[in-house]
Structure 1
Amino acid sequence: MTEDQIFDALRQALWIAVKISAPMLLVALVAGVVIGLFQALTSIQEMTLTFVPKVAAMLIVLWASMSFMTANLVSFFTDQIVPGIAGG
């Protein structure tokens, strides 16, 4: 692999990392805002109220999007990394 190919693979790997982490991060953001609004409206300041629903929502999204994440990683590996290693 040449230096340009390595930098291109690294750029694509970073983009894939953004793509596969986006669903969980967006759900955590939305859950945090909703829980924050609920806490502000009810004046409940319980720490577990913010932590448990966010973790539960993120686990559900992780479970639901696992095939999407796996497919992206496998296609990147088989299309970019393996040919780069085999080619030189």
Structure 2
Amino acid sequence: MNEALFYDTLQHGLWVAVAMSIPILSAALIAGVSVGLLQALTSVQEMTLTFVPKLCAIVVVFWMTMNFMTQTLVTYFHTSIVPQIVGG
């Protein structure tokens, strides 16, 4: 395996990781900002209040995008990793 193929595979793997994490991270961001805005508007300064909505949003989005994440990872392995292993 030469350097160009190694770095190309690494770059593709990092892009797959980013694509798989965007839905969960955006749900956590939206939930955090909305709860923070609600706390600022109502002057409720409870530290644990942001944890539960974020966790619920992350779990729901993970459950909804589990098929997409699995298909993306399987496709990456079938197109990039397995041919390099089989090919030598």
TM-score normalised according to structure 1 size: 0.96
The residue identity in structure 1 corresponding to 2:33 is: V
Indicate the residue corresponding to 1:35 in structure 2.
35
- CA distance, structure 2, for counterparts of residue 2 and residue 85 of structure 1: 14
**Deviation string, structure 1 residues 28-69 (Cα, Å, up to 9, x no partner):** 111111001100000111122100100110000000000000
- CA distance, structure 2, for counterparts of residue 47 and residue 53 of structure 1: 12
Question: Is there any run of 5+ residues in structure 2 with no aligned partner, and where?
Answer: none
The residue identity in structure 1 corresponding to 2:21 is: S
TM-score normalised according to structure 2 size: 0.96
Is 1:82 the counterpart of 2:56? The answer is: no
**Alignment length, in residue pairs?**
88
The 5 Å alignment of 1:19-30 reads: 19-30=19-30
Indicate the residue corresponding to 1:53 in structure 2.
53
Structure scoring higher RCO (CA < 8 A, sep ≥ 6) equals 1
Q: Percent identity?
A: 56
**Deviation string, structure 1 residues 59-82 (Cα, Å, up to 9, x no partner):** 000000000000000000011000
Indicate the residue corresponding to 2:4 in structure 1.
4
Indicate the residue corresponding to 2:73 in structure 1.
73
What root-mean-square deviation, in Å, do the aligned CA atoms of Structure 1 and Structure 2 show?
Answer: 0.7
Question: Is there any run of 5+ residues in structure 1 with no aligned partner, and where?
Answer: none
- CA distance, structure 1, for counterparts of residue 64 and residue 86 of structure 2: 34
